[in-house]
Amino acid sequence: MPASQQQSLEQPAGNLVEISDLHFAFGNNQVLRGINLAIPRGKVVGILGVSGCGKTTLLRHIGGQLRPSRGQVKFDGQVVHKLGSNDLYAMRRKMGMMFQVSGLFTDLSVFDNIAYPMREHTGLPEDVIHDLVLMKLHAVGLRGAHALRTSELSGGMERRVALARAIALDPMLMMYDEPFAGLDPISLNTIANLIRRLNDALGLTSIMVTYDVSESLKVADYVYFIHDGVVVAEGNAAEMADSSDPFVHQFVHARPDGPVAFQYPSRPYAEELEIPPAGSQPA
């Protein structure tokens, strides 16, 4: 069977998420200024940018926690901010989320953390939930840790448990908010490989929001760079390392000089210190 025909049988073609002219502000702080991007089905897409550029705000629009001041987000053909409460709730069940700080329930065991969404959102019997939980933990290499408390987990293990919980209900879309932050190199590489492997094995669509360039370019199929509330560059991940775009070059190679300024906007330094210009006479 041709690959294109096989793909059409597995999942619909086209984009799972489409974002058009998206604007949003917190008070007078304009965070998003007209974002346009698309997330193709079955792909891993990276959204990169410096801290505070609006990456997490973008994810919250996809999940319907925020409403745009202008523009729209479409998920699986539905405009998110126009959905009623029941339809929005049903849509969110098709999404999995791995949070920046994992967000595990500290009073529950690893097993019960994974079982929680199954118990809340399905009518499955406990014996089926038991087997499903062990399957999810096995997928992230932690089946043997099911009885541990969250306080007994290392940082890398905690992220893997959070990943297992995020895929507990077999979502269409997985969203990762800074999945590599605070991880040692071994754990970081493990999480990156899991994101890629699970996306392909489970037929997911994945969005990675991160500022980690090296790992995201290894894992993603396509990347968007966001700065000052807009998409400033995009392209296949494999091509971005050699991009001549000023922002991409500065970001990928961690250069101090470029479109992203290190100093927050301010008056000239001499004025702040009230130092008279060279050669001038004191008043």
Same domain for 115 and 237?
A: no
pLDDT number for residue 277? 63
CB atoms within 10 A of CB 94: 14
The CATH number of the domain where 194 resides is what? 3.40.50.300
Cα Rg of the chain, angstroms: 22
Give the CA count within 13 Å in the CB-facing half-sphere of 160. Answer: 25
Same domain for 45 and 109?
A: no
Is 207 within the bounds of a domain?
yes
Which residues, 6+ apart, have CB-to-CB distance to 33 below 8 Å? 23, 228, 229, 230
Same domain for 150 and 176?
A: no
DSSP letter assigned to residue 273: T
Element (H, E) at 249: helix 246-252
- Burial (CB < 10 A; 0-12, 13-18, 19+), residue 229, is buried
pLDDT number for residue 102? 80
Check if the beta carbon of residue 61 is closer than 8 Å to that of residue 223.
no
CB atoms within 10 A of CB 67: 13
Same domain for 274 and 189?
A: yes
Last residue of a domain, one of 170, 189, 221: 170
Q: Can you give the residue range of the structural domain that contains 161?
A: 105-170
Last residue of a domain, one of 145, 170, 195: 170
Same domain for 259 and 232?
A: yes
pLDDT tens by residue, the chain, 283 residues: 444 444 434 545 689 999 999 999 998 888 999 999 999 999 999 998 877 788 889 999 999 999 999 999 999 999 999 999 999 999 999 999 988 778 899 899 999 999 999 999 999 999 999 999 999 999 888 999 999 998 899 888 898 999 999 999 999 999 998 888 778 888 888 888 889 998 998 899 999 998 778 788 889 999 998 988 889 889 888 788 777 777 777 777 767 676 666 666 777 777 778 766 666 665 5
Same domain for 220 and 258?
A: yes
Is 1 within the bounds of a domain?
no
Residues pairing with 227 in the sheet: 230
Same domain for 17 and 79?
A: yes
pLDDT number for residue 9? 40
- Count of domains in the chain? 2
Please say whether the dihedral angle defined by the alpha carbons of residues 165, 171, 175 and 176, taken in this order, is positive or negative. positive
* Distance in angstroms (rounded) separating the CA atoms of residues 46 and 206: 8
pLDDT number for residue 1? 43
* Distance in angstroms (rounded) separating the CA atoms of residues 203 and 72: 26
Is 25 within the bounds of a domain?
yes
Same domain for 45 and 74?
A: yes
Which residues, 6+ apart, have CB-to-CB distance to 3 below 8 Å? none
